[in-house]
Structure 1
């Protein structure tokens, strides 16, 4: 994926030629092309998982390692990332308080806070903010799933134990074992591992040899277009049906309320600049697919979560441009 030269800046150019529009047009176009491809049946539904594996197992690790392999740890800014998780915690807790402590509420709370940082976030941030923005996003991604999914696992397990308490055939596993397994799965994963490996390599001060760097560069450049095409294909095969209202409620919280909470926290703490701008954009991204895996695992709200991924992605075509425009004017 080729990024624009440098982050977005305020501009007095016409809207058509603005950096925001230039960054968003490829995103919308590739998703639209993927949607048409899915509707036409040029890619079968059964092939979507294989393409997804290609993105996550090959292209994503290549881009993550190559980018983070040039970053010194002392140059990373963890302040906005802390604000990101504080905002996610507030939205998650607010959802649980409003809907009660149950596995259904936990599924909705995770959908309200877990962003599609890879398939949409990486291409969008790369186009909008360049290499520096990607470093900030990858710093978030390195702990995004680990922190949110581990916390969600604890909540899910406690909720399920509460719901099944008293049932004669229920055998509860020790919570520590479940949490330990969640932490392990969060680290031994094709997203955090190449980030950690790249950072460790970068601390040696050695350049990546050209014979390795060039293939990594080519693989990384393929990630953005293929990931966005895959988002469109997935939308074509997703049936929203009778879950539209519930899915829309989740989408409104995820795409609008989550970035607003983050922006308010950042403003209250006096933060600004590129790192905070990337965090706000990341918070505005649609619901990530990992939420469905949790719904499937705990057998709760599977159809509703699937619909929310589709609805929030479609809504994001309207809301994310607004967020991106706003942060380039008042934050970055």
Structure 2
């Protein structure tokens, strides 16, 4: 057993468990979850993302493993569409099968296990993760919705180019990709953050991991699975097991290895990200099933992620 890996995983499980207890005891109420989530997304994560990338030069980034990640995503995503049929329900399940919680769980987990080098690799993925995946998902959802409503309404549909352009704009002007891109641009200037700016950013960034993991535990308390458990479990199995296995198999076939690939495999093993629910809500499909899949996949990931990390650190790094 790799004791440093186990030592890194213990805080992840512990913080989620503490958050769960805090929610059950109503020390943190359901009404406060959105405010805490906004704090993580709008304040803490931009501080960490910008500060980490502000010293990274573009020529040092490795986009090869990121390309493998998106190849595995595309294969699983379109396989789900082919199996389920081209409609909004299939689009929601396909996105849930492939969209990882890279920020709330991925950042603290990768930081603890792989350190700053792992975070740079993860942030390379995050910088284009939402942009590419959510833009593609928007196009698929719009096409599926238009197909379903064809002949049912005389209302004019907006042109596809406007839909795609809006998705790209929203993907860039977002509190996750934007500070990464801003940090990279700052790094290319050769300037160094003055201590009066760097220290507050460091303190805010250090608060992200614990608070994000606590919030995951709290959210589990207020998520109702109910009779959607079977559907949620199918999504969880695809997300936490099939996705990383598919990525690892593709990398093995190409003879790839190393820390960047290990980070990508761990990222693929993460549970369903919350952005999937926003799509389900917007397109009015499978909202309860997607909500349940976020909870079930998070619980399953607490078992599968340690296995994935142990295997990747032993055979990939």
- Report the TM range for the smaller structure's normalisation: over 0.9
- Aligned pairs for 1:8-19 (under 5 A) are 15=1, 18-19=3-4
Q: Which residue of 2 aligns with 1:26?
A: 11
CA distance in 1, matches of 2:156, 2:28: 43
Deviant stretches of 4+, over 2 Å: 168-171
Asked if the contact 1:88/1:113 (under 8 Å) is kept, the reply is: yes
Tell me whether 1:76 sits opposite 2:40 in the alignment. Answer: no
Asked if the contact 1:164/1:170 (under 8 Å) is kept, the reply is: no
CA distance in 2, matches of 1:200, 1:215: 20
Tell me whether 1:223 sits opposite 2:211 in the alignment. Answer: no
Q: Out of 217, 236, 242, which is 1:232 matched to?
A: 217
Q: Out of 176, 190, 215, which is 1:191 matched to?
A: 176
Using the TM superposition, name which of 124-133 and 200-209 deviates more: 200-209
| Residues 245-290 of structure 1 deviation map (CA, whole Å, 9 limit, x = unaligned) | 0000000000000001100111111111000000000000000000
Q: Which residue of 2 aligns with 1:124?
A: 109
| Residues 27-57 of structure 1 deviation map (CA, whole Å, 9 limit, x = unaligned) | 0000000001111111110110000000000
Give secondary structure in 1 for the equivalent of 2:313: helix
- Aligned pairs for 1:47-196 (under 5 A) are 47-196=32-181
- Aligned pairs for 1:227-266 (under 5 A) are 227-266=212-251
Q: Which residue of 2 aligns with 1:5?
A: none
CA distance in 2, matches of 1:38, 1:177: 42
Q: Out of 19, 38, 46, which is 2:31 matched to?
A: 46
| Residues 302-328 of structure 1 deviation map (CA, whole Å, 9 limit, x = unaligned) | 000000000000000000000000000
| Residues 100-136 of structure 1 deviation map (CA, whole Å, 9 limit, x = unaligned) | 0010000000000000000000000000000000000
Asked if the contact 1:65/1:195 (under 8 Å) is kept, the reply is: yes
- Provide the TM-score with structure 1 as the length reference: 0.95
CA distance in 1, matches of 2:53, 2:254: 28
CA distance in 2, matches of 1:241, 1:251: 15
CA distance in 2, matches of 1:208, 1:276: 30
RMSD, aligned CA? 0.7
1:168 to partner: Cα distance:
3.0
CA distance in 2, matches of 1:281, 1:168: 44
CA distance in 2, matches of 1:79, 1:194: 22
1:169 to partner: Cα distance:
4.0
Flag structure 2 segments of 5+ consecutive residues without an equivalent: none
CA distance in 1, matches of 2:108, 2:263: 12
Asked if the contact 1:23/1:128 (under 8 Å) is kept, the reply is: yes
